[in-house]
Amino acid sequence: MEIKTGFVLGAGIMGAGIAHLMAQNGVNAILVDVDEGILKRAVGNIEKLLTKKVEKGKMTDAQVKELLGRIKISTDMNEAANADFIIEAVIENVELKQKIFAQLEGIAKPGVVLATNTTACSISEISSSLKDPSRVVGMHFFNPAVVMKLVEIMPGVATDPAAVKTAKEFAEFLGKEPVVTNKETIAGIASRVLAALLNEAVWVLEEGIGSVADIDKAMMMGSNQPMGPLTLIDLIGIDTHLAKTRTLYAKFGDARYRPCYLLEKMVHAGYLGRKSGKGFYDYSQNPPVPMVLK
């Protein structure tokens, strides 16, 4: 099936990025969220990114208008009936995802792939709420979705190989380099390896071994990381990272993924990273200032 229209559920960091990516590649994107304010903010953020491209001479005003014209925002899940490919990017909560996929199954056209951008939820657990779980597949974009080349495609136990093939081909169409895991897993490859590394950085901070700035500097200068681990957690979202490590810890029981209590305190305080303005850094200032967290 030719993918002319994609449906993206959840207009947060990832959903907005995926809708932007679709529109950039000529696919009509229907971006749906429960929160109208978030939808407007998502489009506003995409517009800001595009305006920068115009300023740099990389895009014309007409191209920006055309791209934005391909993104339709809505709070109505039933819009999924008009899509040729569906991708869910709501918060990392398996019960919510199960509920949503059961609804999507009733709305989507027959044969349309139902993909989830989940980081660490089990594909089989998400699709257990469906009459036919064979069209559910993990399709994990990386943040920022427009920039990062990797997309990990992860089948569940019952996923039809045809759904995997469609997701892989769609990722390639969007200019990505997909990697397909051989079997169902939690958090795929890149996120799982990264989760252990990021977690260790938070423990090093918690143990008082280094400051926020020095931990990031050490990893950038000493292991050639393009950004420090704490800056990266801020970009991912403290809540999203916490949810991921919690799931990995619960599933594997491995201390490498044991979430540090500091993350929980930060989430309670509303320090969710870049998206809320404060995390390991304070983003109200430019450049962002490292926080002293107690």
With a CB cutoff of 8 Å and minimum separation 6, the contacts of 69 are none
240 binds ligand NAD (CB under 6 A): yes
Min dist CB 207 to ligand NAD, Å, is 25
Min dist CB 261 to ligand NAD, Å, is 21
13 binds ligand NAD (CB under 6 A): yes
193 binds ligand NAD (CB under 6 A): no
For ligand NAD, the closer of residues 2 and 76 by Cβ is 76
In the 3-class helix/strand/coil scheme, how is 194-254 assigned residue by residue?
A: HHHHHHHHHHHHHCCCCCHHHHHHHHHHHHCCCCCHHHHHHHHCHHHHHHHHHHHHHHHCC
Token representation of residue 275: 């998206």
What is the C-alpha to C-alpha distance for residues 178 and 163, in angstroms, rounded to an integer? 14
For ligand NAD, the closer of residues 135 and 244 by Cβ is 244
Chain residues 141-160 in contact with ligand NAD, contact rule CB under 6 A: 141-143
227 binds ligand NAD (CB under 6 A): no
237 binds ligand NAD (CB under 6 A): yes
178 binds ligand NAD (CB under 6 A): no
What is the C-alpha to C-alpha distance for residues 138 and 122, in angstroms, rounded to an integer? 9
For ligand NAD, the closer of residues 24 and 240 by Cβ is 240
What is the C-alpha to C-alpha distance for residues 162 and 183, in angstroms, rounded to an integer? 15
118 binds ligand NAD (CB under 6 A): yes
Q: Among the candidate windows 139-147, 205-213, 218-226, 247-255, which touches ligand NAD by CB under 6 A?
A: 139-147
What is the C-alpha to C-alpha distance for residues 130 and 275, in angstroms, rounded to an integer? 33
For ligand NAD, the closer of residues 59 and 94 by Cβ is 94
Token representation of residue 266: 């930060």
Judged by the rule CB under 6 A, the positions of this chain that interact with ligand NAD are 9-15, 33-35, 38, 89-92, 96, 100, 117-119, 140-143, 236-237, 240, 275
